[in-house]
Chain A
Amino acid sequence: VPYSGDDIAATRYIGEDVLFVGSATSLSHEGAVTYANTGTLSIAARLSRIGAVVFANIASLAVAGSVLRIGSAAFANVATLSVSAIVAKFGAVVYANVGSFAAAASVAYKGAVSYANVGTLAVVASVARTGAVAFANAASLSVAAIVAKFGSVAFVNTGTFAVAARLTRIGSVTFSNVGSLAAAGEVTAGSSYLFEDQFSAASGDVKDRVSTSGHTWIRSSGQFNDTSGKATAANGAADSMYYVADINASDYESTVTFNLGSRAYGVGPIYRLSNATNFWLYYNATAGSTLYECNAGAFTARASNSHVLGSTTDYPQVTTCSGTSISAVIDGVTLGFTSSFNQTAEGIGMYSDFALSGQTIAGFTVEAP
């Protein structure tokens, strides 16, 4: 469907390729969209739901909505580009020979992002959540948020680069021929896990500490201390509960090693936590293990076993959260339950009873299934 008119707000072409020659505010549902040799272009809504989007030789482009949901997007020889929403939710995004680019939201949610020969680039939100990010021959680059959450990041022949936050949480980072680089945040968080804490500090309260994977512990009650490889419930502390609010996943496999201490008081990990009063708790004690649902502060013992656990013994626990299922193997015995409660909650944590003999949690990791 060729189109050369102006002001076609809300017009949609479903299943058709659309060629815009003039300015336009609308888009295609499934077909490809191509903009070529257009003076000024302003778009108030999403350009394409599935098809590819190509911009070539456009003087000025402003997009208030997402460019596309699934297909790839390419910007070539665009003098000035401004995007206030996600450019692509799943597809790849390529910028080549773009004079000036400003994005107020994420550039890509899952797809890869490539910048080549970009004059000035400013991004105030994440560049990519999952995909890889490559910057090549960018004169000046400023990013105020995370560049990539999980993917790798590469900078090649970049003049000046400044990042105010973390470059990537899990992927690798490569710099080659970069004139000036300033990173106020972390370059990488240093962990291949969704969450990891080895509690490696020799002493001190775990509260407000940053885990091995870069997450911050929040204290709800009691006290856990770092003790050179373990989080140990402080003697004399009342029931202790610490948590990490968001690990960006609710389906995963988690490993932890717990020890009831010499007086054998209860201890265990917390999963699918949304806040301090809504979560699932594996409570391990001498008489066995119990899976508690804490819902709006009310505890319910949904499943339990009488598998006896000894004092001063390290026990491994491997927990799998998948859909409505939460299940753990504790010292070789399976304990689980099926429920949609907090199924998508992305926090984790740890809990201990009143402590007299130092119950411990060690080697706390969470990885993608």
Chain B
Amino acid sequence: MIYAEVLCEWSGDGLSRATANRPRILDDYPQDVYPYKYEDVTGQETAQLTPDPNLFVIGITCEQTLLDLLEADPDYEVLWSEEL
């Protein structure tokens, strides 16, 4: 299992729970590689979402498979990672 902090965009409009502001990883990757756990590390106030530029730091706990996909994806920037 890996913990990584990654630069990620927000997606969603926040107008309902179903369309909540959420990490774009959940839209870009299939559910079978979803992080086991994630947390918004930046913690930007809701009133400032979506920020310009649309980027925040997300902390994820995931399998190596997802980390490899993110490192190869130009839309994401893996800041650091470690094995748990």
Contact = CB atoms under 8 A, between A and B. Distances in A.
Interface in A284-310: 287, 292-307
B47 A299 contact: no
Contacts of B43: 302, 338-339
A283 interface: yes
A337 B16 contact: no
Contact of A301 (B15, B20, B34): B20
Contact of B46 (A239, A287, A295, A307): A295
A301 B22 contact: yes
A24 interface: no
B64 to A, nearest CB: 16
A300 B31 contact: no
A298 to B, nearest CB: 4
A304 B38 contact: yes
Interface of B: 12, 14-17, 19-23, 31, 34-40, 43, 45-47, 49
B49 A300 contact: yes
Most chain B CB atoms below 10 A, which of A294, A297, A298 = A298
Interface residue SS majority, chain B: loop
Contact of A306 (B17, B37, B40): B37
A108 interface: no
19 contacts: A287-B31, A287-B34, A292-B17, A292-B20, A293-B46, A298-B15, A299-B19, A299-B21, A300-B14, A300-B21, A300-B22, A300-B40, A301-B21, A304-B38, A305-B38, A306-B34, A306-B37, A339-B43, A341-B46
Contacts of A341: 45-46
Contacts of B37: 303-306, 335
Interface residues of A, number: 26
Nearest to A354: B18
Interface of A: 239, 281, 283, 287, 292-307, 335, 337-339, 341, 351
Contacts of A351: 17
Contacts of A297: 15
A299 B20 contact: yes
Interface residue SS majority, chain A: strand
A283 B21 CA distance: 14
Contacts of A292: 17, 20
Given A281-B17, A301-B21, A306 B39 contact: no
A295 B43 CA distance: 13
Contacts of A338: 43
B39 A299 contact: no
B27 to A, nearest CB: 12
Most chain B CB atoms below 10 A, which of A305, A338, A351 = A305
B21 A298 contact: yes
A86 B15 CA distance: 44
A293 to B, nearest CB: 6
Given A239-B17, A292-B20, A299-B20, A337 B40 contact: yes
Contact of B47 (A295, A303, A306): A295
A303 B40 CA distance: 6
B39 A303 contact: yes
Given A298-B21, A337-B40, A306 B35 contact: yes
Nearest to A304: B38
